[in-house]
Amino acid sequence: MTATTSGAAQASGIEPFDTVDLIHAKRDGKKLSTAQVSWLIDAYTRGYVGDEQMAAMAMAIFLNGMDREEVRDLTLAMIASGERLSFDGLSKKTADKHSTGGVGDKITLPLAPLVASFGVAVPQLSGRGLGHTGGTLDKLESIPGWQADVSAEGMRAQLESVGAVVCAAGASLAPADKKLYALRDITGTVESIPLIASSIMSKKIAEGTSALVLDVKFGSGAFMQDPARSRQLAETMVALGTDAGVATTALLTNMNVPLGLAIGNANEVRESVEVLAGGGPADVVELTIALAREMLASAGQPDADVEAALKDGRAMDTWRAMISAQHGDPDAALPVAKETHVVTADRDGILVEQQALPFGIAAWRLGAGRARKEDPVQHSAGVDLHAKPGDPVKKGQPLFTLNADEPARFERALEALQGAYRIGDPGSEVHDGGPLIQGRITA
């Protein structure tokens, strides 16, 4: 159904469909038409369809799924519920990245300026953390003065002058998704692939970028732990992007082990700056480079020397300009926790296991995350790792450090880490889930 028909229905006071009929259809495994899906999302956004009815529909979708056409219709309907950004007239090609989130995932921070240093505009609309996964905006707000809110005009100007902007999405972008996501979060329907895919892609397509690279994670610390389900999600999102005319690819990446050595906010910014300076942990560098190559290839630069831009300072220069443009001070000291607690190895051997999820929960309990959207975060809180799976360790050697402003937080953080790491004898099998990057998906 077109927006015009929907508007006419509202004006006459007559709705073209009965919500209960649509719930029955999806409950019984039937396919919803384009007109039905479009009306449902429009009617829910304007309040005609109630939360209790949409909750029933979400559960029906969770149980019975949707085919490709239905997911496409759902995504387009959520886009149509709000505004669409446009970068027409920008002198640069645009490319964006989205990660499904994980423990220690700070890749956006070095990635955006790295890609922008090649003359590609990176409009990165990011969010805040909830639960064990950190939010990009929370990390950047640990930089004194940095501001997440940028107007559409300011965003365009910064893309033209600097090449990269990381900011909060406006309320007018896919408002139906915001409303539906909040409902899914309290009705046990978050893990539905059609609902996840349409949620992510409605915002990314509405953002207006011409190319998109997806980092879809699996494993202990991932939103979706099963590799097969993660692949299915990636394939669904790539299809949605392709159908909408956005050049879309995806990498499947391993989140069984925390990414990098820093888990938190300010400490993840420090680690990102290390990567931009040509150093940093090998896994963070590997994923940053892989995603940068995907983004640059989609923007017509398949042979860009990404490693050189990290070594010669170009990416760092763009980082400094990006932070300064949003009123941050790239030279300012970052917050440091008032209290620390160091955990050491109780024997000689090899670190054979380091589960991502418990370390994410520990950082959350230390104050780095939030239980509710309105909760503040402590930018200095988090975990610093001193060893990764496969590393040899000696008795008494630091394994990780907990950082918090309130020492009372250490007890619950340590509770979360019971059984989360293990030291084995030399030659023992290392349980890290295998290589970092385990697949590439294209249209």
Question: Which residues form the catalytic set?
Answer: 98, 177, 184, 199, 203
Nearest to 365 by CA among 341, 397, 388, 387: 341
Task: Please report, in angstroms and rounded to a whole number, the separation of the first and last CA atoms in the chain.
Answer: 28
Q: Which residues pair with 97 in a beta bridge?
A: 213
For residue 239, give every residue at least 6 positions away whose Cβ sits within 8 Å of its Cβ, in sequence order, or none.
Answer: 68, 71, 72, 443
Tell me the residue length of the chain. Answer: 443
| CA torsion through residues 119, 304, 209, 111, sign | negative
Beta strands in 57-115 (DSSP E): 96-99
Take residue 413 and report the two structure tokens written for it: 């953080």
Take residue 235 and report the two structure tokens written for it: 């394939």
Helix (H, G, I), strand (E, B) or coil at 173: coil
Contact 297, 93 (CB under 8 A): no
Note the Cα 345 to chain centre separation in Å.
33
Instruction: Tell the residue number behind the tokens 């300009």, with chain if given.
Output: 321
At residue 330's C-alpha, the angle toward residues 329 and 336, to 5°, is: 90
Q: CA-to-CA distance for 231 and 15, rounded, in angstroms?
A: 39
